[in-house]
Chains A and B, each alone.
Chain A
Amino acid sequence: MAFLIRTIDLTADGREIIRDRAIEKKALTIGRASENDIHLSDLAVEQYHAKIEQAPGGKLRIEATGGLAFHLDGKVTKSGQIDPHEGAELEFGTYRLVVSQSGNEAPTITISQVESAAQSSDDLAGFSLADTLPSKRVSAWLGLAAILIAFLAIPIYSHLARSATPDGPTNDGTVLMDASWSTGALSQAHHSLEDNCEACHAKPFQSVQDTTCLTCHEDIADHADKPRQLTGRGPLSTGDALQWAVAEQFGKEGPGSCTTCHTEHEGAGRMEPTAQQFCSDCHDTMDTRLIDTQLGNAADFGTSHPQFQAVVFTQPGQTNPQRISLGGKPKESSGLIFPHDMHMERSGGVARMAKNLGAKAGYGSALVCADCHTPNADETSFLPVDMEEDCEACHSLVYDKVGTTFRTLSHGNVEQMRADLAALDRVPRSPAASGMLRGRQRPGQYSQGGLYYQNFGRPVRSLVAINRALAPDGVCGECHIPTTNNGKPDVMPVNLRDHFMINGWFDHDAHTQEDCTTCHKADASKSSNDLLLPPLATCRTCHMGEDDKSADVPSGCAMCHSYHPKGSADAQIVAKNTKSMGVPGRQLPNKDKQGIDAVLAMLGRKSD
């Protein structure tokens, strides 16, 4: 076995000198010492660095003999085995030894010296992601610039450079990209202002001002006069005072400003109702501060709310209504005679009448509330009961028949009735008429107790007939209280109110799933003097305070009350009689701008 050692040297001018020599040995030594078989003059190589010897299967084994390793195919190792047929590359210091063998020839070791190129960091830079991805710095700057331009520079520039036309709710918004500043959709009422931010946000870095709100809401009235509000509210708590002190440093208007209660950008739909606490902060113990108030304390509908009070007429012919509590058994006096229970009986005369009139006329087997009571257009309340529409189908005012046509008395006009009846008896025309008027002779439906019997009085002389009609047992006296007006028989005027609450409201449409009698105990009412409005307790079967999550309907104050007075006309009527409830305050300062101080003084509790 031999090795062929091939040395490649370079001359000074770069020419290669190749020298071959054969070594007839089974093992070769490699090192810096000159007695080695392969002598490598490099200080990085040890004196006796390694040994190459034959291994079974034509392989070669390389073993480091000193302490230092060598490179085998680029890897640092101290020993290794190679197949010379496959070839391998060894490196000792700056020397590269390429081992090869072809056929049965001796393994060849080609020695050359290579430039000791220190591995530059560039060779290793490829391991990092830096070449693969865009530079962090570049993408950071790009992101920074894009965001600052799109979301800051463009909106601010276009806001400052917008045309001189004043901002307003009817103009279109002209500021670009400021939709990206919106923290949420506006409520339904303000939806038209969605792209018109500057309509409300009038000045940069100034919170939305009351005067801006009042450009549209110019007719709104204040909750109460300022001194009463200040007294009613009492001093601020330490926490609130601190909060407002900070807020006012930043230009917030103060505790009475619109935005304190009305928050916007809370999402589309109805504006969030103001929380109960805004009311209860003052109203929970208000009587201790506002000692002359007629209002009871209220903090929570479920646990702390005064009994309802309804505005009704308590005496026949009264001109000014009274406010009475719905606790106990409240009575009114409308001037009408109407027993609800009789009309609502499932059997009996009234039910039979309804049956006889039949489904064609819109009746069932007995009368129901809707046969007489008609909701108004928005179904929140009811139209006044109309005699001709709602009663006359049964309570007929027919007094004569001409051929096939019935003549009917005109309801609500006593003079007309007198004239009609006075004209009648001159020419009695038909058995029907005479029967109706005389109240006798004809048996059957027209006789006394019959279906169509009406007692208009006897037709002996017209005056008598007229007086009969107006008597307690006459046709008018059936529902009306007879009286005398200027010496003539007449009836008491009917005083029925179409709404009863002045500081709150009730929406029937929201309660259609309930039967009327759940709240209005009409089926048990024998007299029209019963005020059939439910007391507080009835409402509380479903409605409890805002925080009572076990209630069917947790209800905040705003469900039935408005902070800004609405029905001031009612309040004034009642005020004449009952001395001051919460007196509505003046109109807020609006278009004729009086400056921040004036508005604050008007709205807030800042004393000055």
Chain B
Amino acid sequence: MASLPNEQNQREKRQSSDHEGFLSHKKMRWLKIALVLCLVTIVAYFWIDVTPRHNGGSWYGYTLGTIGALLIVWLALLGIRKRRYGAGRWSLKAWTSAHVYLGLALIVIGTLHTGFQLGWNVHTLAYALMMVVILSGIYGVSVYATLPASLSNNSKEMTRGEMVDALAAIDRQLQAAAQPLGREESDLVIAALEQSTFDWGIGARLSGHYRKCATTRALSHFADDWSRPVGSDEPKDKVRSLLGKRKNQLDQIRRHLRIRALLEVWLYIHIPTTIALLAALTAHVVSVFYYW
């Protein structure tokens, strides 16, 4: 018997050293808890006879509202918990798992709390913000599950630094190779070299369509000239070949940027909307009791 705690300990160590994502943490404990919570609230919604109809102001409405508000505040605390290093009573993984599943349960709890009575008011604003936060969270979880693989596929074992270095190396060669060119062509090369790799809007980043790309423009100017043999010493051909390399390198960086943007963009909605939600929730609760 004395060996039992030890064995258990080892098993725990082994388990925690295995890579177990936050979604399947502890055999989906929080998924089960969230499902039970949803089920109980839904059954109670239909079982409890609230007259004239379900409403946030019935006793069941207040109950759901209280659970929902506490959940929202607790879910938002993940932002604080994740900044505090060191093991609390629950690991960050447990927190994240609970955050995801209880956050999903909030769809049911929040919606039942409304009693499906929505309108143009601060109460529905709070509900809408809550739904935006949850939906952006769902998006976040789903891209975290799928996109990192394509990120590493795209990088082909290059680090971000190497991608930037490679582009710089191509640029240096381009600078040298373009020396014999005339004014007009030099300007095209300069435009390509001077254009920032990163200074593009969110639209270009997310779509991967860089309409005003100077490298593409320069490349189309130095169109393939089949009259000269491959590997000719003609400066234009060198420049064209280097521009082609530059374009390839840019494309890789842009694919990386696109995936990164898809991975990160939800946080720019999730976080500020959460804070706005906390404000709207405060306004909702205070206003309901102020004009009770």
Contacts and interface: CB of A to CB of B under 8 A. Distances in A.
Interface of A: 57-58, 71, 73-76, 83, 85-89, 91, 98, 100-103, 119, 123-124, 126-129, 131-134, 136, 139-148, 151-152, 155-156, 159, 178-185, 197, 201, 204-208, 243, 246-247, 251, 263, 266-267, 272-275, 277-278
A127 B202 CA distance: 12
A140 B276 contact: yes
Given A83-B231, A152-B282, A183 B121 contact: yes
A425 B229 CA distance: 144
A177 to B, nearest CB: 9
Nearest to A73: B169
Contacts of B122: 147, 151, 180-181
Contacts of B166: 73-75
- Name the residue among B249, B265, B268, B271 with the largest chain A CB count within 10 angstroms: B268
Contacts of A206: 292
A141 B276 CA distance: 8
A170 to B, nearest CB: 19
Given A74-B162, A87-B242, 17 more contacts: A74-B165, A87-B173, A87-B238, A124-B160, A144-B278, A146-B276, A151-B283, A152-B282, A152-B287, A180-B121, A182-B121, A183-B117, A183-B123, A185-B119, A205-B289, A251-B292, A275-B52
Contact of A201 (B160, B196, B260, B292): B292
Contact of B164 (A71, A123, A132, A275): A123
Q: How many interface residues does chain B have, given as a range?
A: 35 or more
B278 A133 contact: no
B241 interface: yes
B264 A128 contact: yes
Contacts of A243: 59
A132 B205 contact: yes
A101 to B, nearest CB: 8
Contacts of A246: 59
Given A75-B162, A127-B257, A151-B280, A183 B119 contact: yes
A91 B288 CA distance: 68
B221 interface: no
B5 to A, nearest CB: 45
Contacts of A98: 172-173, 176
Contact of A207 (B119, B125, B205, B292): B292
Contact of B231 (A58, A183, A266): A58
A308 to B, nearest CB: 26
A147 B279 contact: yes
- Name the residue among A132, A205, A277 with the largest chain B CB count within 10 angstroms: A132
Contacts of B36: none
B282 A148 contact: yes
Contact of A148 (B53, B197, B231, B283): B283
A89 B119 contact: no
A61 to B, nearest CB: 15
A114 to B, nearest CB: 10
B121 A266 contact: no
A100 B233 CA distance: 10
B75 interface: no
A144 B278 CA distance: 8
B167 interface: yes
Interface in B122-176: 122-123, 125, 158, 160-170, 172-173, 176
Interface in B196-239: 196-202, 205, 231-233, 238
A142 B276 CA distance: 8
A145 B282 CA distance: 12
A278 B51 CA distance: 9
Nearest to A155: B287
B21 interface: no
B267 A136 contact: yes
Contacts of B55: 263, 266
Interface of chain B: mostly helix, strand, loop or mixed: helix
Nearest to B260: A127
Contacts of A183: 56-57, 117, 119, 121, 123, 288
Contacts of A208: 292
A102 B233 contact: yes
Contacts of A139: 268, 272
Interface in B59-96: 59
Contact of B233 (A89, A103, A131): A103
A147 B232 contact: no
16 contacts: A86-B242, A100-B176, A101-B233, A127-B257, A129-B265, A132-B202, A133-B202, A133-B265, A139-B272, A144-B278, A144-B279, A148-B282, A152-B287, A183-B56, A201-B290, A275-B52
Interface string B95-136: 000000000000000000000010111110100000000000
Given A88-B173, A148-B282, A181-B287, A129 B205 contact: yes
Nearest to A131: B198
A74 B168 contact: yes
B51 A275 contact: yes
Given A132-B202, A133-B202, A147-B276, A74 B169 contact: yes
B260 A71 contact: no
A244 to B, nearest CB: 10
A145 B264 CA distance: 24
A129 B271 contact: no
B50 to A, nearest CB: 10
Given A139-B268, A183-B117, A152 B275 contact: no
Contacts of A182: 119, 121
A143 B273 contact: yes
Nearest to A76: B162
Contacts of B49: 277
Given A136-B272, A178-B291, A184-B117, A73 B170 contact: yes
Given A74-B168, A129-B202, A133-B268, A119 B282 contact: no
Contacts of B162: 74-76
| Complex A-B, nearest 4 residue pairs according to Cβ-Cβ distance, in ascending order | A74-B166, A126-B198, A143-B276, A140-B275
A156 B290 contact: yes
- Name the residue among A73, A142, A144, A266 with the largest chain B CB count within 10 angstroms: A73
Interface string B15-52: 00000000000000000000000000000000001011
Nearest to B275: A140
B197 to A, nearest CB: 6
